[in-house]
Structure 1
């Protein structure tokens, strides 16, 4: 075959057009909107699968093969495999921490700090503790958060204050917990170590949380009343104490995981060491048999304390509990890999390159892309992964560490998702707590203060570390090799 023939074929390919480049993303977003708002189904798996097929059809229209796109999206899915393995380990860890008494002990002592005079402060702090311990904001909101809404109403505290405190605490924990799916997925998509990512989030998350707690303490003082009956809290503690051996020794599994993180152990052995230690504590302190431990690690734990709030919170864990998230991660990564190969991300990146010239502009463009995807698509997982894939090379090009990228993604993705009414996060919270998203959103202080601190640090040049890793020198490519590469690409 004459090598010039494919070259001529490549020249007849329709020229790049921005609207055509982003068409698969826009059409997939439209399908997701129908799924969310018309069908009232917040499961994005099938719309994302449709998005992969749509991108393949546009590839065909441009005379390109499915095989090339498939090869690319499989490589992107492979990038997420470590995060998926961590998530399976986290499923086992949650189950092990429950049967060992670690989570029940954290809950028991967490409820002990509750007092009516500082209700909002306590609610935010309790939800943060529980969410960090379990790695799930949704689970915290659907159990303890729901109970706190009822207590708050009994105390005469407006629902928008209580809802804001619950959301602030729950999503703070979701963002900072090494057990959280979003905390594992975001650095994986951008090629950042999990523990580096968590440390990188401290400069925005901690000041935001401290400020939020101070505001809740100040607001809550006007509603406190020490004569209020706290029987609901006592009932929760009694149920925990009656079914578990509550002891500081049951906190050893948590200390092991924290210690491993401090010594910078890799995430997978850190999680698995927590599983092993928690299983030993369950065997020796809670009297759980080996067979039951294996079953819980695989299928999760089913709590039967007789108290609905406690049973809902503690009935979780196991490898199988992570299948929903893992399969969604596969679809999201495959869709984004397809968009990469088709040229959607490159087209968007070209627009960004035209305007991003500074450190502040770089961080601001990250926020804008995350909020844009979160608003357009409404799927929190795609919202976290797509900007990471889109901007990771830009941060490297401008000489900044990608930990600032992953921090900015979580600041404007994980934390702002419950503040967008049609996002999965906002829809879930509104439906669970029975309060409109825009009603509690202004009072979810920690959620919107964190990105503001991120912009402040970017403007001041603080906590935005440079990447001093030397970049490899560009290799000279001969004209003959360029022609061969062009033929192969065509």
Structure 2
């Protein structure tokens, strides 16, 4: 295929993808699975018309799925972990003591700070969202907080740790791709992270939540009473998450660490909560917790988890990654990256183009690791030629790769957050200020020169 035809094919594919998804999700109000599948089929038919062979497309589909095997395995283990930590009383204990620090009218700030702390220690937005995040969403419902606003504050806090913690996979991956030392990368992230976080806090403070103080406190007391009636609230229930945090600090592999969390959680069920049979535990691991506590709010909080609870996200991720693999195999991403490369003529343009490329890869593939890897490999030579410190590259990849993925309904993070918190991406999208501000600050600093260093020889 000629270069001209390749560009034409890529643009038509982009129009098809954007058109189908926007029409289906914004006008028809459908879930993203079928629109993505329809986009995949449409692009495959178009590719066949442009002379591509099915064998090439099939390989791309399979390669795309392979990329997602680890995230999907993590999601399924987290599904079991959520159910285990609910049934063992771990999350109920966290909630019982944690809500003493929740001020109803300032719920969003409280949720933001709590999730920042948890995600910074665990290095995982998924673990934070799946445990503390679920508990906070249940509490927000009893306080009458808008679900999108509550989810937005929780996601902002959870993604802070996923961006800044040295235990985070992406925080290690971005500097590795750019060739930067980890803690130099984290230090350089402060230039965009601190302003974005401060503005986010100011916005949440100015918004409040609308929750009434007296009614909110009464709701909190009722939740605590229901928790004590249904669970043995004990510090022993916190041993399992403590073990997981210690393993994370020791750089233990993610999946084995989460499995240890499941095993220690099951032991907590048996020795702290008691009165649970093997059949009940197996059912919980498969289908999640199913119990009646006498309180609607607590029921909504604890009746979660299990492998099956992740299947909505898993099916969406498989389709999205298949589409991403097809797009890569057909050279669509490379075509747009090359077109963007031709626009690079200044420091600001290099950083802005890299950020736009990371965002584009997120949209096309739904995979945050690819949104770091592909632009990182493509634009690194441009940073080096203009003597720009590669910390600027790693920071751009982190801000526009890691933090944009939750904004994509078919992204791995977006799909997981939506299904776990029970709030679709479109609903929480207006409230995730931290996720929007970080890439904006990255681009702004690129053009102003603030926080940008020349490469030292």
Fold shared, TM-score > 0.5 on shorter chain: yes
Comparing 352-361 with 365-374, which one deviates more in the overlay? Answer: 365-374
- 8 Å Cα contact 1:22/1:347 also seen in 2: no
- 8 Å Cα contact 1:333/1:385 also seen in 2: no
In 1: Cα distance, 2:199 partner to 2:247 partner? 29
Comparing 88-97 with 167-176, which one deviates more in the overlay? Answer: 167-176
Residue in structure 2 matched with residue 408 of structure 1 by the alignment: 400
In 1: Cα distance, 2:89 partner to 2:173 partner? 31
Comparing 282-291 with 115-124, which one deviates more in the overlay? Answer: 115-124
Number of corresponding residues: 424
- Say whether 1:92 aligns with 2:80: yes
Residue correspondence of structure 1 range 16-415 to structure 2 within 5 A: 16-42=5-31, 44-115=32-103, 120-125=108-113, 133-135=128-130, 139=134, 143-148=138-143, 150=144, 164=149, 167-173=152-158, 176=161, 203=190, 205=193, 208-209=196-197, 212-213=200-201, 216=204, 230-287=217-274, 288-356=276-344, 360-369=348-357, 382=366, 384=368, 387-388=371-372, 390-397=374-381, 398=383, 400=390, 404=395, 405-414=397-406
- 8 Å Cα contact 2:371/2:401 also seen in 1: yes
In 2: Cα distance, 1:362 partner to 1:50 partner? 34
Residue in structure 1 matched with residue 387 of structure 2 by the alignment: none
Give the C-alpha shift of residue 457 in structure 1.
6.7
In 1: Cα distance, 2:279 partner to 2:427 partner? 45
In 2: Cα distance, 1:53 partner to 1:189 partner? 32
- 8 Å Cα contact 2:129/2:155 also seen in 1: no
- 8 Å Cα contact 1:167/1:444 also seen in 2: yes
Gap change, CA 1:432 and 1:59, over 3 Å in 2: closer
Give the C-alpha shift of residue 40 in structure 1.
1.5
Gap change, CA 1:232 and 1:353, over 3 Å in 2: same
Gap change, CA 1:225 and 1:38, over 3 Å in 2: closer
Residue in structure 2 matched with residue 480 of structure 1 by the alignment: none
In 1: Cα distance, 2:232 partner to 2:258 partner? 23
In 2: Cα distance, 1:324 partner to 1:126 partner? 27
Give the C-alpha shift of residue 224 in structure 1.
11
- 8 Å Cα contact 2:75/2:310 also seen in 1: yes
- 8 Å Cα contact 1:137/1:173 also seen in 2: no
In 1: Cα distance, 2:228 partner to 2:287 partner? 24
In structure 1, the residue corresponding to 2:153 is in which secondary structure?
Answer: helix
Structure 1 unaligned blocks of 5 or more? 1-9, 153-158, 469-490
Give the C-alpha shift of residue 281 in structure 1.
0.9
In 2: Cα distance, 1:238 partner to 1:144 partner? 13
Can you list the C-alpha shifts for 1:89-145, whole angstroms capped at 9, x where unaligned?
A: 111111111111111111112211023675553354356669853438985685333
TM-score by length of 2: 0.75
Gap change, CA 1:350 and 1:117, over 3 Å in 2: closer
- 8 Å Cα contact 1:80/1:189 also seen in 2: no
Gap change, CA 1:200 and 1:409, over 3 Å in 2: farther
Give the C-alpha shift of residue 348 in structure 1.
0.4
In 2: Cα distance, 1:39 partner to 1:262 partner? 46
In 2: Cα distance, 1:16 partner to 1:111 partner? 60
In 2: Cα distance, 1:205 partner to 1:190 partner? 16
Give the C-alpha shift of residue 319 in structure 1.
1.3
TM-score by length of 1: 0.71
Give the C-alpha shift of residue 344 in structure 1.
1.0
Gap change, CA 1:310 and 1:361, over 3 Å in 2: farther
In 2: Cα distance, 1:428 partner to 1:446 partner? 21
In 2: Cα distance, 1:271 partner to 1:465 partner? 41
CA RMSD of aligned residues (A): 4.5
Give the C-alpha shift of residue 71 in structure 1.
1.0
In structure 2, the residue corresponding to 1:143 is in which secondary structure?
Answer: helix
- 8 Å Cα contact 2:155/2:432 also seen in 1: no
In structure 2, the residue corresponding to 1:63 is in which secondary structure?
Answer: coil
Structure 2 unaligned blocks of 5 or more? 120-124, 385-389
- 8 Å Cα contact 2:372/2:398 also seen in 1: yes
Residue in structure 1 matched with residue 122 of structure 2 by the alignment: none
